[in-house]
Each structure stands twice: as C-alpha cells, then as structure tokens.
Structure 1
Amino acid sequence: MLNNKNIILGVCGSIAAYKSATLVRLLIKAGANVKVILTADAANFITPLTLATLSKNPVYTKYFEEETGVWSNHVELGLWADYMIIAPASANTIGKMANGLCDNLLSAVYLSAKCPVFFAPAMDLDMWKHDSTKANIQKLQEFGNVMISPNSGELASGLHGEGRMAEPEEIIAFLIGTIKNNLPLAGIKVMVTAGPTYEPIDPVRFIGNHSSGKMGFAIADQMAELGADVTLISGPTSEKTSRQIRKIDVMTAAEMLEACKSSFTQSNIIIMSAAVADYTPAQVSLQKIKKKDEEFSIALKKTTDILLTLGQLKTPEQILVGFALETTNEEENAVYKLKKKNLDLIILNSLQDAGAGFKKDTNKITIFNRAAEKTTYGLKSKAEVAKDICTAILKLYKA
C-alpha cells in the first residue's frame, strides 16, 4: 500500500518525537518516499541529522535557511505528498491546524496539502482532556483529517492515562488499513495467472513457450494497488512482484489447473493471462532420452482447457477475463473464444504488432466485452496496459 507513495511526516515538539526515527525507518522499509518537517521545538527532542539519515532526504525546519539560501516551497511540498502524517501532533500544532494559523513551515504545508492528512496526538493527560483540545480535534476531523488515537500509559509527567502517542508500528498498520479500506477493490478477491507452463519430456527437456509473465505480474500488481486480495498463480518465470501478493508457483498445465480450481470458487475476479501449453507429452521418460536417431518424434495429448473449464464453473457474480494471442484472423478468433468460454472480457494481442508479444516490456491490446464491442489501445508499457485492463474490469465490476 505504501510502495512508491510520497509521504510528508510532520514532527512536533513532544518527548514522543523520539519515536519519529522508528516511524521514518518503517515508512522507508514499506517502500515510501519520505520528507520530514520539524517544528522548532521538535528539533530540541530529535536532530534533523537523524531523520535526514533515515529518510535519505533533507529535513525541513523553516521557510528559509540563512546558511544555504534555500527556500522551502510549502506549496510544492503540499502538492508532492500522497499522504501527510503529523506524529507526534502536539496540542499547540493541533490548535493551529484547527484554526488556520500559519506561523511555521509545517502549518503552511498542512494548509497547502491536497492529500489525506493523518495526525497522532501526543500530550499530557490534562492537556488531552481539556475542552479546547477536544474542540480542536473535532474540528480537524470535520475537515476530513484522520486521527490516530493515542494510547493509555505512563506519560512524561509521571501521570498515567490517555495522551501517549500510538507506537510507530500501530501508525503504519492504521495508515495501511485506512488506505486499503478506501480503495475501490478493498475486500475483493482476485485470481491472476501468469507465465508459461513447461511440459516435461524427460528429466532435462520440456515443451514450453516464450511467455515471460510480465503482463500477468503487472496485472497482479495493479489489482493489489486497487486494494484487492490477490492470488497470483505463475508458471516458471524470473519476474518478481513488489506487492504483498499470495503467489502459487506451478510448472505444468495440470498443476496450473489444480491451483486454479482450488482458488476459483472464492475469487470474485479471475484474470487468465498465462500462456498454458495446449499439448503435453503422452508419456514422460524417467531417464534422459539419448541422442541416437536422425529423427525423433513425441506423442502428444491435449491438456485440459483451463479457461473453458472455469467458464463452465463460473457464476453470474464472478468476472472471468481471458487473453487471446493471435497471428491470423485475430479479432474473429478472439470473439469466438470470448463466447465459447463464457468470458466477460477478452484481451487480444497480436504477434503482428511491433513491440507487442512475449518478453517485451510493451504491449498493444484490444479489449472485447460480452457484446463483442471492442476498445483498442495504442502501444504502451505493460504497467500502463495493466492499468487499462484493470480499469475496464473495474467498470464492469461496478456496473
């Protein structure tokens, strides 16, 4: 959820500022790009050098740095961020945010930000319970800001009660959970197949194809980006996913069939982008076949058509998407496959198109819906093609 997201972390004057170092480390570990803004009081509790080292970015403390002559553009910072977190959020800063006061860089960036804002209060018990603090927090929440509630525990004053800032791990979990719940496919289960299958001839040889799995992995990543709970069933490939995706590795068409059948019934959306072998050797030699004769033939038998099998099992509530890689009569063959296999969408790509096909980083597709209406897209990166495919599926799912 946080991979490649731009996050501004605002740190206010509080003993809880020491936790900001851990929070930055966890954000970086989650793949986020982090820029830290310290208030003047916060710098008394934690040094800019510590946070700059952990975030791998300069730390911002004021509008203008006299020593370097650098101006910190609060508008650009506010627009750069995908999310803004203020942790710890002191009673002072919460009051400024609630009432539009703008006397430091952090409050100026807050007023300029267009992104969701999270704040994690940290203060003593009596300050937390004060009516003015309660009123300011209510205002912030009415503005659409999201509070990460403080914990109860021992406070810096020696009192025991509410006001202790949430732990960094809790803040990360809260942030990810909130982001995911607001995504369009939150709670939706998606199954994606990718890559080739290898059909063994003997212990060292196989029948396969040139599929790299790039397209299927890009689709799985994009579905996860939309909040889906993704199961990726992949044949042999060197591709990796950066998302927290359940991955099932298979080798043969038979193994892929079994993996698909086990995940299919609980899946809402099924996207079959794998290049599954149509034939497999009728018999597999247990020993390496020695090179003897000038000619050598292998008896082949049909594999089970996985897409056809799933199309027969599919319910009206499920969305089933197939792929058609064609070299001749492309559109006619794709529409025939769409209808025969009970698909909701079929993605056509042709080996005749320059830049499309196996092992390429780009692709060019045409999408047909159940009514055989087509939408054609230009040549794009497979990551962009995955977005187009997922957008078409999302429209269908929400229809």
Structure 2
Amino acid sequence: MRPFDGRRVLLGITGGIAAYKAAWLARLLSQGGAVVDVVMTRAATEFVGAVTLEALTGRPVHVDLLGVGRALDHIKLARAAEAVVVAPCTADFLARAVHGHADDLLSACLLATTAPVLLVPAMNDRMWAHQQVRANAERARALGYTVLDPDEGPLAAGEGSGPGRMPEPETILAHVARQLEPRAALAGKRVLVTAGPTREAIDPVRFISNHSSGRMGVAIADAAWRRGADVTLIAGPLAVPTPAGVRVLRVESTQEMADAVAGELPNADALVMAAAPSDFRPARVAEAKIKRGAGARAIELEPTADILASTRARRRPGAVIVGFALETHDALPNARAKLASKGVDLIVLNDATEPGAGFGVETNRVTFVSRDAEEALTLLPKRDVADAILDRVEALLRGSDADASLAAGD
C-alpha cells in the first residue's frame, strides 16, 4: 500500500496505558507493507509485551541500549529508518526528547536519526494541560518534529474524559504516510475535493438522493493530503469516515454544495468534483409529512444547480479542474461532451452498470478523458484510483507552473 511498501519505519513505544494501541498501529504498518522496527522503553514493556509486537511485525523488538552485540543498535536503527513515530509519547519521554537525553535506546535513536519524527503524546488531561508539557511540545515542533495533539475522549479508568487520549492508530497511520510520501507537485497546494451524494427534500422526513457512499472522493482527499496538499473536502452525507488532516465542510443539498464550492474555489489550485450531487429536486417541498392515505402523488421535479459549469467564472488562472462522469450508456461520447461543455482539464469516466465499479463498492474502473487522449485503467481499489487521478493532477499542475514561469520570463 502506497507509500508503505518496503519502507523502514521505527515505531517507538513508551510507558503509558495507550501502549496497547501501539500493537494495532504496528499491525497496520506491517499490513501496509512497511518493515517495522519496534523500540520499546523499559516502562512500555509493563503495558504491552515485546512478544506481541514481534508476532505482529515478524521482526525482533529492541529494548536495551547496551548489550553484547548490540552496542551500535541505536545507530543502525536510526540510520535505517525512513520515518520515526513514537506512540504513545509520555510526558516524561517528551521532556527527555526535547532536552537531548540519550539514556535509553529510543531517545538515543532520536538523536541519531535524520528521518522525519512524529511524536504522539498521550497522558492524563491535567498533565497535557500543564504549561511545562505544552512548552515541551512546542520545543519539539521547533526542533522539526511533528507533534500530534491528543484527542479528547475517555482516559484511564476513573479519570473520565478529556484531552489527552492518544489518537486512533488509523489517524497516526495517515500521518506516517504523509511523512513517507515523496514531496511532489501537490506539496503546499490547495486542493478542493467534493464527495458523496446530496439530498433534496420532498417533505420534512423524505428526500431524493442516490447510492453514492462518498468513498471515491474521500480516497482522493486522503491521497491529496498524504501528498502534502492543504485539502478541503466538501462532503454530502457520507457512508465512510472522513480522512485525517483534511478540513471538512458538511453540506446536505446540491445548492449548499454549489455555494460551498463557490466560496472555496477562488483559492484552490485544483478542484476534483468526485461528488454525485442530485440533478433534480422537488419543485415544491411539502411543509408536513405526506400521508399514505392521500393516495397517489406526482412529484414535479426541477433541475438543481450545475455545480461544475458554475465554477468557470471562479477558477483561478492555472487551476486544474477534474470532473467525473458516471454513465450507463454512450459513455465515451457523453464524457467527451462533458469535457468540452464544462471546460475542465480531465474527466474521470466510469460505468454505473459494470460489476465492481460505481457506487457502494471499494473498487472502480475508470477511463481518463482529456482533450487529446483517452486512457482506460483496469479494475483497481479506489485508493489506487485516487493516486492515479492525482498523478495526472500533479502533471497538469507542473505544466501550469512551467507556463507561468515562462510567462513571467523566469
């Protein structure tokens, strides 16, 4: 799984109750294809066993700084690592890390590595609120470490709920992926993505919608953030979780989505319209629930806003615009017509009737339609389709940046 396959990740575990979550993080990293070297403090072994981590990673677990045949482990492990993540990172380890201590294997590895470092603090909420701990977190950031703020939620037994809980392993995994992803044309760019269906009210309890889960758009937003972009996701009602790191604007109707896109687009370097907004809405919305006893009812429909077409006047110069076309017949002619009529750079075409593609599934088979080419992909996981789309967005952005440089005489 991009970008983990074959990459070396050093997973540091310190002595907090959240150490039990580190076992699942090790599992996720290994499943993604990473080579995971686990380094535990002595205190961490009181919370989770080294044997557990060895079974999950298939590799030896490292605890001691010194020992026969292991005198240079801290150098070897630090040099091999392409990313370092410490999860959980206790208040004690955070303090030792920012002051350059090297009295155990994990802190020595931090001093010896040149890889990006992600610290994931987890502790009691009162400890996290202490000014010394917060100052240490800021010192860590000043050193170039990435520090995730703890989540708010249930703490250790009897301690109630508050800010101090370690983020879930899936969230940490996303941040490690962002560290491992090579910096490319999306780094620092502002990317706007739409996802999911919209709903058009019939009465206070019913609506018109479609089968879109939002999975494709969410995968694109996730991949764009992983590649270093500043991502805003405009989401209708989703059937999947939103990705880590992404700013999310929730909408319900097509008009709300159109208004949100209009507000965000002038600052966007790229727009990927992966949502499936309703094309029609009831011409009149009943003020009360329509009763069954009222007999047969006809619902008059009217067109909703054409979001993609309405963006033309708001696009910034050089912005890359990607539209989607979900078709059931005459797919390529319809996609080419949409490419021209909406003035976009790329259409991502897929067939709603094809098994394994379209709505509600984890795979998709798409064809890229541009002004001068058509390229059909095989059936792929939507995560891989998202990366294929963004490869093409990056290429288009590089072309736009090069054109801008030529125009400026650089």
Q: Same fold (TM over 0.5)?
A: yes
When structure 1 is superposed on structure 2, of 326-335 and 314-323 the one drifting more is 314-323
Q: CA deviation at 1:281?
A: 1.0
Question: 2:152 is matched with which residue?
Answer: none
Q: CA RMSD in A?
A: 4.2
- Residues 1:390 and 2:360 aligned together: no
Quick one: distance in 2 between partners of 1:260 and 1:147?
35
- Tell me the CA shift for residue 338 of structure 1: 0.7
User: 1:122 aligned to 2:123?
Assistant: no
**Partner amino acid, structure 1, of 2:191:** V
Determine whether 1:298 maps to 2:299: yes
User: Which position in structure 2 is the counterpart of 1:229?
Assistant: 230
1:109 corresponds to: 77
Q: How far apart are 1:311 and its partner, in Å?
A: 2.6
The C-alpha deviation readout for 1:202-248, integer Å capped at 9, x for no partner, is 11111111111111111111111111111111111221023121111
- Match of residue 275 from structure 2: 274
What letter matches 2:53 in structure 1? Answer: N
For 1:54 and 1:234, locate their aligned partners in 2 and report how far apart those are by CA, in whole Å.
Answer: 42
Distance 1:235 1:245 in 2: 15
Instruction: Tell me the alpha carbon deviations over residues 312-360 of structure 1, each in whole angstroms, 9 at most, x when there is no partner.
Output: 4323311111000011110111011011111011100012322111111
After superposition, the Cα gap between the structure-2 partners of 1:27 and 1:206, relative to the gap in structure 1 and judged at 3 Å, is: closer
Could you tell me which amino acid in structure 2 is paired with residue 57 of structure 1? L
Q: 1:268-323 CA distances to partner (integer Å, 9 max, x unpaired)? A: 11110111111111111111112346532112211110000013432331111100
Counterpart in the other structure of 1:377: 377
Please give the alpha-carbon distance, in whole angstroms, between the structure 1 residues aligned to 2:73 and 2:187. Answer: 35
* Cα contact 2:187–2:229 (8 A) shared by 1: yes
Distance 1:357 1:312 in 2: 30
Distance 2:315 2:345 in 1: 10
CA contact (8 A) 2:37 2:77 kept: no
Partner of 2:202: 201
Partner-residue secondary structure (3-state), 1:57: helix
1:332 partner SS: helix
The aligned residue for residue 10 of structure 2 is 8
In structure 2, relative to structure 1, the CA distance for the partners of 1:73 and 1:376 (3 Å cut) is: same
Output the CA distance in 2 between the equivalents of 1:282 and 1:72.
63
Shift in alpha-carbon separation, 1:344–1:205, aligned structure 2, 3 A: same
For 1:89-238, what aligned pairs fall within 5 Å after superposition? Answer: 103-111=71-79, 113=80, 115=82, 122=100, 167=136, 170-171=139-140, 174-176=144-146, 179=179, 183-184=183-184, 185-238=186-239
What per-residue deviation string (whole Å, max 9, x for no partner) do you get for residues 133-191 of structure 1? xxxx9xx79xx66799xxxxxxxxxxxxxxxxx94675478333894996322221111
* Distance (Å, rounded) in 1 between the aligned partners of 2:116 and 2:246: 27
Change (3 A) 1:364 1:104: same
The 1:362/1:216 distance shift into structure 2, 3 A limit, reads same
Q: Secondary structure at the match of 1:354?
A: coil
Aligned 1:223-372 pairs, distance under 5 A: 223-292=224-293, 294-369=295-370, 371-372=371-372
Letter in 1 for 2:73: L
Change (3 A) 1:108 1:10: farther
- Is the contact made by 1:35 and 1:55 (CA closer than 8 Å) also made in structure 2? no
Query: Do the aligned partners of residues 215 and 368 (structure 1) sit closer, same or farther apart at CA in structure 2, a change above 3 Å counting?
Result: same
Q: TM-score, normalised by structure 2?
A: 0.65
Query: In terms of mean alpha carbon deviation, does 172-181 or 308-317 score higher?
Result: 172-181
Contact 2:190 2:268 in 1 (8 A): yes
CA contact (8 A) 1:7 1:35 kept: yes
Say which SS state the counterpart of residue 324 (structure 1) adopts: strand
Are 2:84 and 1:49 aligned? no
Q: Secondary structure at the match of 1:211?
A: coil
CA contact (8 A) 2:196 2:213 kept: yes
Amino acid at match of 1:307: L
List runs of 5+ in structure 2 lacking aligned partners. 30-35, 86-96, 103-110, 119-134, 148-177, 400-410
How much has 1:122 moved relative to structure 2?
Answer: 2.2
Aligned residues: 319
Larger Rg: 1
Whole-angstrom distance in 1 between the partners of 2:236 and 2:23: 29
Q: Which sections of structure 1, spanning at least 5 residues, go unmatched?
A: 12-19, 60-70, 78-89, 93-100, 125-136, 149-165
- Aligned pairs for 1:11-22 (under 5 A) are 20-21=14-15
> Partners in 1 of 2:74 and 2:179 — Cα distance?
23
Describe the shift of the 1:317–1:28 C-alpha distance in structure 2 as closer, same or farther (beyond 3 A).
farther
